[in-house]
Structure 1
Amino acid sequence: MRRSTKLCFLLFAMMALALPQHLAAQKDLQISKVFDIYGKKKGVTMVELSGEMLGDYNLSLFKSIVINDDPGAGDFIRKCLAKDQEGAKKVKQVISSGNLSTIILQLPRKGRLNRLILYNATSSGYKITLVYLESSDEADDILNLLLKKK
């Protein structure tokens, strides 16, 4: 019995050490708080994909959150984005009625990964979408994949 306990502990420790690095990749960003705080609230849809599901798109991590009817969330997200855009390249920014409605940020590389943040809010603030992406592809290629017309 004692031997199996040690074996279980050893296996658990090995699995913990082998967790993919991308699980903590966005933790250095302020927007990670958005996913943590709003991810399980009513009226919110959060999606996180990694690994094989994204292989065809050359993405290593895709994380999105859509928040409906929560004006306070918009203010909080814009504050987080303001911090995260320090050192980032603004690919696109749209201001509508004095408020940020769309921004695409290319963050500094993290190792071999290019990182992007996409934010969009309706003019009424009724619907907010925030997306975080990681890929070994160049940022332009990622954006072309995402924004290409069908």
Structure 2
Amino acid sequence: MMMRRLRLPLLILLLSLMAAVSGLAQNGTVPHVQEIFDRYGRAKDVTTVVMTREMLTEYDIHLYRSLTMREPGKRLAVVRAAVDADRKVAKSIKEVIDFGTLSSGYYELPPANGLNRYILYRYNPKRGITLIYIEGKLGADDLVSLLLQNKNTDN
């Protein structure tokens, strides 16, 4: 009898906790591309770079993560699905579609914990996938300037 009385409150508590966790994932606090970094970041054919605030204070960046897959194979669909899921909550989107395929994308996610968040994606059949996640105090204009500055110094 006592177990029956506890069953309903426990069920309600469990459902409430599940809804809260689901709400965190849906409001964009944890980007879907995080799963890509977690899942493939240590694979033999993947190059991953992670830099934290200490290395990037000059740029107002708190976290920089990049992942490069030269031959993504079936993983391409998984990466695209994660990027597409984050795209749905992005507040700013810039994309290049090449022959019906997303070849590059810039996504500004809603801020979380007072930090701006950005995803950069590029796919080239000959060079593979590059996925970058950045979070920090820097604004979108600052990020674009930084990227253009680095691109100009590469030439």
Question: What is the TM-score normalised by the length of structure 2?
Answer: 0.74
**Aligned with residue 96 of structure 1, among 87, 95, 98:** 98
* Root-mean-square deviation (Å): 1.7
- Following TM superposition, by how much is the alpha carbon of 1:109 offset from its aligned partner in structure 2, in angstroms? 0.8
Contact 2:87 2:93 in 1 (8 A): no
Corresponding position of 1:4: none
Q: Is residue 59–residue 138 contact of structure 2 (8 Å, CA) maintained in 1?
A: no
Does the CA contact (< 8 Å) of 1:85 and 1:105 recur in 2? yes
Q: 1:117 aligns with which of 111, 116, 119?
A: 119
| Residue in structure 2 matched with residue 28 of structure 1 by the alignment | 30
Asked if the contact 1:115/1:139 (under 8 Å) is kept, the reply is no
Give distance in 1, aligned partners of 2:126 and 2:111. Answer: 31
**CA distance 1:27–1:65, change in 2 (3 Å):** farther
The one-letter code of the counterpart of 2:129 is I
Q: What CA deviation, in whole Å up to 9, does each residue of 1:13-33 have, x standing for no partner?
A: xxxxxxxxxxxxx97111111
1:139 partner amino acid: A
Aligned length: 124
Give the C-alpha shift of residue 110 in structure 1: 0.8
Post-superposition Cα deviations, 1:86-107, rounded to whole Å, max 9, x if no partner, equal 2213442011121111000000
| Equivalent-residue separation in structure 1 for 2:93 and 2:32 (angstroms) | 19
Name the CA distance, whole Å, in 2 between partners of 1:111 and 1:126.
Answer: 34
TM-aligned CA distance change 1:59 to 1:83, over 3 Å? same
Rounded to whole Å, the distance in 2 between the matches of 1:125 and 1:98 is: 17
Runs of 4+ off more than 6 Å: none
Asked whether the equivalents of residues 71 and 126 of structure 1 are also in contact (C-alpha less than 8 Å), the reply is no
Q: 2:39 & 2:148 partners in 1: Cα distance?
A: 28
Once structures 1 and 2 are overlaid, which stretch shifts more, 98-107 or 26-35? 26-35
Contact 2:32 2:83 in 1 (8 A): yes
- Structure 1 residues 29 and 119: CA distance shift in structure 2, 3 A: same
**Structure 1 residues 146 and 126: alpha-carbon distance in aligned structure 2, compared to 1, 3 A threshold:** closer
* Structure 2 unaligned regions, length at least 5: 1-27
Q: CA deviation at 1:125?
A: 5.8
Aligned residue number for residue 141 of structure 1: 142
* Larger of the two Rg values belongs to structure: 2
Paired AA for residue 104 in structure 1: Y
What is the aligned partner in structure 1 of residue 82 from structure 2? 80
Cα distance between partner residues in 2 of 1:74 and 1:58: 31
